[in-house]
């Protein structure tokens, strides 16, 4: 039984939900949670009663990123050997459509997880960001690739290089999310969208998802690989140790460029 997610295979006819459930840690995506998420998606993909999947967090956080405390002491080689992104690769191969219902923080790996899904419904209080730069690293789960494709180079570059967050309204304006709705109904809205998709031919839906993704997937593979190597390389720097230690110790980091 998963401990850090809640899976409901038939929340509505044809629609399964997965709730990320580490509320105290703002749903920080540690290795266990991501492993559970991968296993759940593999199972739901094989469950013929399920036609569409909704992933959500809670009102305060979709997910505030990869778990910094779990990564803080790691070396570049540790990161390479742990190979945490193989889990993400499997998630990306889910054949059924996945909708991210996002409220609150979707930061770092949280923003990347939302972008790995096929569509995003955001609540008015959702905030998106790639703040890795503030802790001496960079996005490693597809942020540089997917954000740039979604919102264009200028906006993506600013977010990745400054770590600034954007509001749900900005995210909609830039084309990152499908739509923004009131906090009270963001999950219902995602469920409605999922219900519509669940009435379509599951075969046609699967093939159509695959085809839309194919528009950039070959190139995406290369980009993800390139990003991943550079992310690991940041763990060879003193700045990564300083940035993550500063987060854990709740102080401002002092970066030296080493």
132 is catalytic: yes
Enter the tokens of residue 209.
Answer: 């998802």
Minimum separation from the CB atom of position 20 to ligand CAA (A)? 12
Name which of 40 and 68 has its Cβ closer to ligand CAA. Answer: 68
Q: Which residues bind ligand CAA (CB under 6 A)?
A: 25-26, 28, 64-69, 105, 107-109, 112, 131-132, 135, 139-141, 143
Minimum separation from the CB atom of position 223 to ligand CAA (A)? 14
**Cα–Cα distance between 127 and 170 in angstroms, integer?**
9
Enter the tokens of residue 164.
Answer: 């600034």
**Cα–Cα distance between 233 and 188 in angstroms, integer?**
41
Element holding 17 (H helix, E strand): strand 15-20
- Residues 57, 64, 132, 140: which is the catalytic one? 132
66 is catalytic: yes
Name which of 42 and 133 has its Cβ closer to ligand CAA. Answer: 133
Name which of 16 and 147 has its Cβ closer to ligand CAA. Answer: 147
Minimum separation from the CB atom of position 188 to ligand CAA (A)? 25
Name which of 69 and 214 has its Cβ closer to ligand CAA. Answer: 69
Minimum separation from the CB atom of position 150 to ligand CAA (A)? 16
- Pick from 14, 23, 34: nearest CA to 83: 34
- Residues 66, 100, 101, 114: which is the catalytic one? 66
- Residues 36, 64, 100, 112: which is the catalytic one? 112
- Residues 65, 104, 109, 140: which is the catalytic one? 109
Name which of 91 and 193 has its Cβ closer to ligand CAA. Answer: 91
Question: From start to end of 64-203, where are the E strands?
Answer: 98-102, 105-107, 119-123, 127-129, 166-167, 179-181
Minimum separation from the CB atom of position 194 to ligand CAA (A)? 26
Residue labelled with tokens 């889990």: 87
Contacts of 82 (CB under 8 A, 6+ apart): 31, 74
Residue labelled with tokens 């054949």: 95
Whether 139 contacts 160, CB under 8 Å: yes
Residues annotated as catalytic (active site), given as ranges:
66, 109, 112, 132
């Amino acid at each position: 039984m998963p401990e850090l997610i809640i899976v409901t295979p038939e929340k509505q006819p044809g629609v399964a939900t997965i709730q990320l459930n580490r509320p105290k840690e703002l749903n920080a995506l540690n290795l266990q949670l991501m492993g559970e998420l991968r296993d759940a998606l593999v199972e739901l993909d094989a469950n013929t009663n399920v036609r569409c999947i909704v992933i959500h967090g809670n009102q305060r956080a979709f997910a505030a990123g990869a778990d910094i405390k779990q990564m803080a002491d790691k070396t570049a080689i540790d990161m390479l050997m742990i190979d945490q992104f193989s889990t993400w690769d499997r998630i990306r191969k889910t054949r059924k459509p996945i909708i991210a219902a996002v409220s609150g923080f979707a930061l770092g790996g949280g923003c990347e997880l939302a972008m790995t899904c096929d569509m995003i419904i955001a609540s008015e209080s959702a905030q998106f960001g790639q703040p890795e730069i503030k802790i001496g690293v960079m996005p490693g789960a597809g942020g540089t690739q997917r954000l740039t494709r979604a919102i264009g180079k200028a906006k993506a570059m600013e977010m990745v290089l400054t770590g600034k967050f954007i509001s749900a309204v900005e995210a909609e304006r830039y084309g990152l999310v499908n739509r923004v709705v009131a906090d009270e109904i963001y999950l219902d809205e995602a469920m409605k969208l999922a219900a519509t998709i669940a009435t379509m031919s599951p075969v046609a839906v699967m093939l159509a998802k695959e085809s839309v993704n194919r528009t950039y997937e070959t190139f995406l593979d290369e980009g993800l690989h390139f990003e991943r190597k550079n992310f690991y390389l940041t763990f060879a720097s003193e700045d990564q140790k300083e940035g993550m230690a500063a987060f854990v110790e709740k102080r401002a980091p002092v970066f030296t460029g080493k």
